[in-house]
Amino acid sequence: MTELSAHLPQFQHGQLTENFPDNHLSNTQESMASALFNTDQNDTSERRRHENSERRRNDNPDSETNGQPQNNIQQVVEQDEEEDEELTLKYGAKHVIMLFVPVTLCMVVVVATIKSVSFYTRKDGQLIYTPFTEETETVGQRALNSILNAAIMISVIIVMTILLVVLYKYRCYKVIHGWLIISSLLLLFFFSFIYLGEVFKTYNVAMDYITVALIIWNFGVVGMICIHWKGPLRLQQAYLIMISALMALVFIKYLPEWTAWLILAVISVYDLVAVLCPKGPLRMLVETAQERNETLFPALIYSSTMIWLVNMAEEDPEAQRKASKNSTYDKQAPANQTQNEDPEADDGGFSQEWQQQRDNRIGPIESTPESRAAVQALPSNSQSSEDPEERGVKLGLGDFIFYSVLVGKASATASGDWNTTLACFVAILIGLCLTLLLLAIFKKALPALPISITFGLVFYFATDNLVQPFMDQLAFHQFYI
């Protein structure tokens, strides 16, 4: 399901490490792990705030003797704060756009396919997860059937999520890996083969099996490599978008109408519960992953920046630079421990829980003005300047899938056609924007489905039933509003 988690514990004294401890293990492809991560989005601002506070502290002794410099200091501090705010806003906006683009692309692919390939709007049976049919005689029976379908689907998802959490907790990594590999094999080979076949049928393209085999083989193998191992970032992102679109198309085809809307509504409620409640499976997952300081499974999370896998640390020159910086820091720390000032007053801007967490992890090492000054005197390498660029946001593939299901269903079944599709599209984007805003405020794992899906559903039903007749009448008379 969906989570946003902040990159909390790696921020040490102005150094930003690249280990991403905010792991979010998503469940199966069907349960669609949707996680929205803020990996160090706010660390830049924290660092700058930190520098500002440090400067203020260093300059305070002067203020008693000479009132004059304080004004300049104040101005400098305010200017820094202004720049800080501006940069925060700019980086925040940049991260929002970094997610707008892939979400839009996924939706465009789904809508384009729905509009052109009739296979995905044709009724060819239902999934075993939704056994009750909606072709009933009465409306009441149909409603009941769809509620039952949604209940079965959501219980399947809950069971799968809990299974995944249990597997992760008991370190059955091989099982999880095997599960993920089988799912992505299925998506990359089988579903894309079907998709390609249907596209060829729609456009009446003559094609032989040998060419198709070659195409699908290459597509699938490169996809597996990009997603599960290493590959260019853009290619990996493209593959993740494609498999999300394929999954969304499968859902659009095999879920009957009322069931689909109910499932969307219920899954956003489940997402909210699973991520925010203390005993929610996804929250437990994130916390376990953070405790173990492990990276995410890249197969189920879309990241707007490079994913640093554990085995990359040896070859990567940046990681080596980072390692050397860490060692410098460690040498200084014992020297500074003896000069500890009052820890409560001089907490360096870190909250108590963060400090406790850090103490649990690396031992009681406090930061002091001297240590901070020493660290800041270190030559800043290019890594710190490109850190803000490399910090990105992560969104779970489940989010992509359900957003696309909503928009795809809107374009497939709405009588308002393009108006409804566009209204849902704008609603989802605004929901995503608001979710990212909340992420910037709360800095923890947040569900990305509820707000967007709520807006999307409201706009779908309102546009389809209220706006469409109105616009239809206006267009009939060629009135413009």
Partner 1 sequence: MGAAVFFGCAGIAFGPALALFLLTVAAEPLRVIVLVAGAFFWLVSLLLASLIWFVSVHLSDREDAKLQYSLLIFGAAVSVLLQEAFRKADEGLATISEDGRSPISLRQMAYVSGLSFGIISGVFSVINILADSIGPGIVGIHGDSPYYFITSAFLTMALVLLHTFWGVIFFDACERRRYWCLGLVVASHLLTSGLTFLNPWYEASLVPIFILTLLTGLWAFLTAGGSFRNVLKCLSCKGGAGREGRATEGVTAATRGLFR
Catalytic residues: 271, 399
Return the H-helix or E-strand segment holding 286: helix 281-292
Q: How many CB atoms lie within 10 A of CB 430?
A: 15
Whether 435 contacts 4, CB under 8 Å: yes
> Which H or E run contains 48?
helix 43-65
Find the binder of partner 1 among 263, 284, 433, 457 (CB under 8 A). 433
CB nearer partner 1, residue 203 or residue 209 = 203
Distance CA 155, CA 147 (A): 12
Stretch that binds partner 1, among 189-197, 260-268, 293-301, 421-429 (CB under 8 A): 421-429
**319 scored as a contact of partner 1 (CB under 8 A):** no
Tell me the per-residue interface mask from 90 to 129 with partner 1, x by CB under 8 A, - otherwise. x--xx-xx--x-----------------------------
Radius of gyration of the chain (CA): 26
Q: Using the structure block, give the residue that is written with the tokens 């009750």.
A: 132
Binding mask 37-76 for partner 1 (x = CB under 8 A): ----------------------------------------
If the CB atoms of residues 21 and 392 are measured against partner 1, the closer one turns out to be 392
Cβ–Cβ under 8 Å, residues 397 and 300: yes
Q: Mark residues 193-212: x for contact with partner 1 by CB under 8 A, - for none.
A: --------------------
Q: State which of positions 453-472 bind partner 1 (CB under 8 A).
A: 459, 462-463, 465-467, 469-471
3-class SS string, 86-122: HHHHHHHHHHHHHHHHHHHHHHHHHHHHHHHCHHHHC
Give the nearer residue to partner 1 in terms of CB position, either 84 or 399.
84
CB atoms within 10 A of CB 141: 14
Task: For 418, list phi and psi in degrees, rounded to 5.
Answer: -70, -35
Binding-site member from 89, 214, 310, 441 for partner 1 (CB under 8 A)? 89
Q: How many residues bind partner 1 (CB under 8 A)?
A: 38
CA dihedral sign of residues 387, 243, 313, 38: positive
- Min separation Cβ 427 and partner 1, Å: 7
Q: By CB under 8 A, name the one of 175, 417, 438, 454 that touches partner 1.
A: 417
Point out which residues bind partner 1 (CB under 8 A): 82, 85-86, 89-90, 93-94, 96-97, 100, 416-419, 422-423, 426-427, 429-430, 433, 459, 462-463, 465-467, 469-471, 473-475, 477-481
